[in-house]
Amino acid sequence: MYERYYGLAEKPFSLTPDPKYLYRSESHANAFDLLQYAIRRREGFVVVTGDIGTGKTTLCRALLEEIDRTTFTALVLNPFLSEEDLLKRILQDFGIVSRDEMKAGRLASVTKQELIDTIYDFLLSLIPLKASAVLIIDEAQHLPLPVLEQIRILSNLETDKEKLLQIILVGQLNLQTLLRSPQLRQLDQRVSIRYELKPLDRDTVGAYVAHRLTIAGGPAAVTFTPKAIDEVHRLSSGIPRLINLICDRALLAGYSLHTSRITDEMIVHAAQSLDLVPRLRHRLKQRASLATAAAVVLLASAFAVGAMTYLLTRFAP
C-alpha cells in the first residue's frame, strides 16, 4: 500500500524469510560462517538456536543460496513428520524421487529400512563425485523423540574416514534442553558445533532498518529519527521479527500522515496497535516482582542477623 509513496520496489519489512534481506549482524555473521565451516569440514552434527523471531529460518535460506553445486541439500521446515515421512522428504529433496512419484504413491509400500538403505546408497554414490550432502531441519525443538532417534541413526551413515551426511538442527532455545535429556544423550554427544543467535543491540537495529530499506529500493525516501530507532530497539528487544512488525506499521502510519519522517511517537503508536507495549509492561512487572522478592529476602536476612546479634548480646554470660 505504502510502497509507491516511499518509492519502494517491495515491502521492506515483510515477515517472509527472504534470504536477500538477511542482515549479517555480528551474531548472524558468526552463525553463517560457522555453518559454512561445518559443511566444508563435514563436522557431522551442528545445532543453531535462537529466541522466537531472531532470523533462524532466514539464515537457513541464505545458507542454501551460498552452497555450491557439489553439495546436495534437504531442508525440512515441517518437524511434525513421522520417521518414514522424514526419510521420504529427504529422498525427495535430494532428487532421488520426484514429487510426482511421491504423489503417485511409489514409496507407499517401502519399508523404513529400505528408505534408509536408499539414502545410504545415494550418499555412497557421491564419494567418487567428490560431492556431499546436508540435511537442515528447522523448528527442531518440535521433533518427536522417535524422529530425533531416527536422525541419530542417519548420522551413523559414514565411511572409515568421514561422515556421509551432515545434519544441522535449527530451533528455539529449548532445543538445547531437549537434546540434553537422558533419552537423547547419544545424539547430544555427537554435536560438534553449537551456536545461539542473539538479539540486535541498539546500533545494530539502526543498521538493520537501513539495510532492509536499501534492499527494498528506497533508503533515501524515508527516514527513521534516532529517537524512533531507540524506541524500535526498546519495544522489540532487538528481535528482528518484532522490528519488522513495528516498522511496517510505522511506515503505514507515515503514509497515512503524508510524511516520510518516522518519529518515536509513531513507533510507540505502532507498537501499541500491535499490542506489544502491554507485553513489555508485563516483562517489566516480572522484573519488578523479582527485584521486590530479592529485597524482601535481604530484609529478612538482615532482620535475622540483627535478632541473632541481640540474643547473643542479651544472654551472653
More confident residue, 150 or 304: 150
* Residue 41: per-residue pLDDT: 87
Query: What is the rounded average pLDDT of the residues 128-147?
Result: 95
64 and 98 part of one domain: yes
> Exposed, middle or buried, 22 (CB in 10 Å: 0-12/13-18/19+)?
buried
More confident residue, 105 or 86: 86
265 and 126 part of one domain: no
Backbone torsion region of residue 237, taken as left when φ is above 0, otherwise alpha when ψ lies between -120 and 50, otherwise beta: left
Number of domains in the chain: 2
Provide the residue type at 164 as one letter.
L
In a domain, 292, yes or no: no
145: cell is 523423540
Cβ pair 271, 230 in contact under 8 A: no
Average pLDDT, the chain: 87
Task: Give the number of other Cβ atoms within 10 Å of residue 24's Cβ.
Answer: 15
Query: Mapped to the 3 state alphabet, what secondary structure does 43-110 carry?
Result: CCEEEEEECCCCCHHHHHHHHHHHCCCCEEEEEECCCCCCHHHHHHHHHHHCCCCCHHHHHCCCCCCC
In a domain, 309, yes or no: no
Residue that finishes a domain, picked among 153, 171, 197: 197
79 and 170 part of one domain: yes
48 and 148 part of one domain: yes
112 and 161 part of one domain: yes
Query: What is the rounded average pLDDT of the residues 72-92?
Result: 93
Q: Kindly state the percentage of the chain with pLDDT values over 70.
A: 86
In a domain, 219, yes or no: yes
128 and 188 part of one domain: yes
132 and 71 part of one domain: yes
* Residue 128: per-residue pLDDT: 93
Query: What is the rounded average pLDDT of the residues 210-218?
Result: 90
Residues of the domain holding 175: 26-197
Q: d(Cα 58, Cα 136) in Å, to the nearest integer? A: 13
Tell me the CATH number at 223: 1.10.8
Cβ pair 83, 146 in contact under 8 A: yes
166 and 222 part of one domain: no
How is the beta sheet containing 45-50 ordered, strand by strand? 71-76, 132-137, 166-171, 45-50, 191-197
Residue 201 has pLDDT above 70, yes or no: yes
* Residue 263: per-residue pLDDT: 97
Indicate the pLDDT class of residue 220, thresholds 50, 70 and 90.
low
Residue 244 has pLDDT above 50, yes or no: yes
In a domain, 283, yes or no: no
Q: d(Cα 66, Cα 33) in Å, to the nearest integer? A: 11
* Residue 163: per-residue pLDDT: 87
Cβ pair 132, 70 in contact under 8 A: yes
In a domain, 278, yes or no: no
pTM greater than 0.75: yes
In a domain, 241, yes or no: yes
Query: What is the rounded average pLDDT of the residues 24-37?
Result: 95
Residue that finishes a domain, picked among 197, 226, 259: 197
107 and 229 part of one domain: no
Q: Which runs of E-coded beta strand occur in the chain?
A: 45-50, 71-76, 132-137, 166-171, 191-197, 223-224, 261-262
Residue that finishes a domain, picked among 167, 197, 227: 197
* Residue 29: per-residue pLDDT: 97
Q: d(Cα 202, Cα 189) in Å, to the nearest integer? A: 36
Query: What is the rounded average pLDDT of the residues 11-16?
Result: 95
In a domain, 317, yes or no: no
Tell me the CATH number at 52: 3.40.50.300
Residue 57 has pLDDT above 50, yes or no: yes
185 and 246 part of one domain: no
- Between helix 240-256 and helix 226-236 the angle, nearest 10°, is 130
Q: Kindly state the percentage of the chain with pLDDT values over 90.
A: 74
Residue 64 has pLDDT above 70, yes or no: yes
- Cα–Cα distances (Å) from 279 to 66, 79, 286, in that order, read 37, 28, 11
170 and 39 part of one domain: yes
Residue 272 has pLDDT above 90, yes or no: yes
**Residues whose CB falls within 8 Å of the CB of residue 124, separated by 6 or more in sequence, listed in order:** 164
219 and 150 part of one domain: no
In a domain, 279, yes or no: no
